[in-house]
Amino acid sequence: MSPRWLVARQSALFVLRERTVALLGAMFIVLVLISAWLGWSATATVDGIYQQATVFLKAAGRTVPPNPVFDMSPLFLMRNMSVYVALIGALSAIVIGNRLVCLDRKAGVLPLIGIRPLSQGDYAIGKIAALGALIAGLSIVAAVAATATFLVLPSIQLSLLQWAQLVGFMVVSAVYMAIFGLIGLATGAWSRSETVGLLLPVTAWLALTFILPQLTANLNPTAAINPISALAAPPDIGFFHWTAQILGPFSLADSFKFASARLLDYLPPDISPPSFIPPFLDLLLALVAATALAWRSLTGLAMTQGDYNV
């Protein structure tokens, strides 16, 4: 067994044993299941309202518009999953990244690892691989829940393309979570205090989720909890054009929302993302940058002691 694999396996198993990580992971999975129910329930209600409205409109002698439910792709049922990935998925990833490096620093075993015949690059690869495996695990569980939902609802049939889109959404979700996980890994390795190591990525997440969309598209913070309201077109003013140009590429929450909306078939045709970089490419670039950051922090970690100050 190679040292990288050993570090990855030991770290992943260790993190899985932690109750807080288990709590956040369980929350994420339960919410994925709830999101399936929510999507179904809300869609059924819209359909019910339409049926009642039809009676009402016919009685009033007015024309009945088409049922909005028929315009919806079956993938629309899973729209809330994009919100849960952006909120709890990203936060869980930060915590996982932080714990992966914290476990060695807090235990004070870095010198004991540092004198084994493995390079610091092996150590970094082991940690990044552990993060990748844990996030892939979360995504696979979410994918299984989504697939099961589609399979048990007999009225819903997905085309091959739609199945591919669902897989694509899961991959994009994993990438988005991995970006935050890698930042958590980097700050956990780099910061002197355990608390700061956790707070820095959380602050970055707060800013990306709730502040940047306000600047790029005048979106109020609570729009982040609604996949539909989060896709409003920005006001057509110079200020928002400029902020979209400058801040758009950094507004990862926006990129994720647009990528998800496209894959889950709920992107309105007249709305485009704020960044000039396409959302998928933007997320990939952020993944590369976050990996570089994590690599740099992990390979630069002082193995002499490494424990936190506080």
Partner 1 sequence: MSDAIMTPAAVAPSPIRTIAAKDIRDALRDRFVLIVTVFLGIAAVVALLTGAIALRNDVATYDAAKATLLALGKSAGEIKAPEFYPLRLLRGAIEQIEIIGAAISILIGYRAAASERGRQTLALMLTRPMRPWQFVAGKALAGIALLAGGLALVLGMLTAVLHLSSGVGLVPDDLLRIAIVWGVAVAYSACFFLVAFILTLHMRQISHALLAAFAVWLTLVLIAPQVGDTLDPDNQVAGGVFAQLQISKPDQTQIMKGFATFEALRNGIEEASVTKHFERFTFAVLGIKSTYTGMALWPVLVEMTSNLIWIVMTVLGLGALALALPLNPDRLAKA
Partner 2 sequence: MSDPIIMTDKLTQSFDGVRAVDSLTLEIAKGEVFGFLGHNGAGKTTTVQMLTTLAKPASGTARVAGHDIRTDPLSVRRSIGYVPENVRLYDTQTATENLLFFARLSGVEAPQARVAEVLDLLDCTYLAHQRVGGFSKGMRQRVGLAQAILHRPSVLFLDEPTSGLDPMGIKMLRDLIIRLNIEFGMTIFMNTHLISEIAKTCTSIAVLSHGKLVFHDRIEAVTARYGDDAALEELYLSLTPVGRLAGAAA
Residue 191 Cβ vs partner 2, minimum distance, rounded to whole Å: 19
Q: Is 10 in the site for partner 2 (CB under 8 A)?
A: yes
CA distance 202 to 156: 38
Residue 101 contacts by C-beta under 8 Å, 6 or more apart in sequence? 127, 185, 188, 189, 197, 298, 301
CA distance 49 to 67: 10
- The tokens 């819209």 sit on which residue? 46
Residue 220 Cβ vs partner 1, minimum distance, rounded to whole Å: 5
Largest CA distance in the chain: 84
Contact predicate 282/255, CB 8 Å: yes
Residue 165 contacts by C-beta under 8 Å, 6 or more apart in sequence? 75, 263, 264, 265
Residues found near partner 1 in the complex (CB under 8 A): 18-20, 23-24, 27, 31, 34, 38-39, 41-43, 45-46, 48-50, 52-53, 56-57, 62, 65, 68, 80, 83, 87-88, 91, 95, 102, 194-195, 198-199, 202-203, 206-207, 210-211, 214-215, 218, 220-222, 224-226, 228-229, 231, 235-237, 239-240, 268, 310
Considering only 52, 63, 157, 304, the residue that binds partner 2 (CB under 8 A) is 304
Nearer residue to partner 1 within complex by CB, 5 or 14: 14
Nearer residue to partner 1 within complex by CB, 122 or 254: 254
Which residues ranging from 15 to 54 are in contact with partner 2 (CB under 8 A)?
17
Which residues ranging from 75 to 114 are in contact with partner 2 (CB under 8 A)?
103, 107-109, 111-114
CA distance 119 to 139: 30
Phi/psi at 28 (5° precision): -60, -45
- In the complex, the residues that contact partner 2 under the rule CB under 8 A are 1, 3, 6-7, 10, 14, 17, 103, 107-109, 111-119, 302-304, 307
